[in-house]
Structure 1
Amino acid sequence: MVEFTEPEMKISAQEMAEARLPLRYRDYCAHLLVPLNKCRHRSMYLPWKCEPERHEYEKCQYEEFMNRSSMLAKIKKEKAEASN
């Protein structure tokens, strides 16, 4: 059986609420979204001003997606093997 280890949240629910993050963005990359949103607000959402922060956040989102995808593939493989 595949053991799922949940990643550690690096920001608390209270900190996310104080940063006014919508619920759909309160994931394992939220700790990177808070500084990105602050930078966006300071720079009036100019797309070229917060590139390092945006890159970090998007990289985290991609890695998290890849982790979930590989976990799902492992689970499906185990189910297929178990049914045979």
Structure 2
Amino acid sequence: MDVELGIQNVARPVNFTTEQSADEVSKAISNAVTQGEPIDLVDDKDRHIMVPAGALGYAIVGSETKHAVGFGAL
């Protein structure tokens, strides 16, 4: 699952891949924002990505499908 977090007053978004499902990521972000707690997500390398909920500008939760590797004909 690809995730992109936009943080207020930061030029570059935070991009990472996680083993969590789209529902788990969305629920974690939603709960953190409504409760005013830090967003705490774990990437596929077992690192914690923590963002203050008040600093979140946007979140894009990608698809769970794996992308094909290689060259294809157009």
Q: What TM-score does the superposition give when structure 1 sets the normalisation length?
A: 0.27
Task: Determine which structure has more spread, i.e. the larger CA radius of gyration.
Answer: 1
Q: What TM-score does the superposition give when structure 2 sets the normalisation length?
A: 0.29
Please state which structure has a larger fraction of its residues in helix.
1
Please state which structure has a larger fraction of its residues in strand.
2
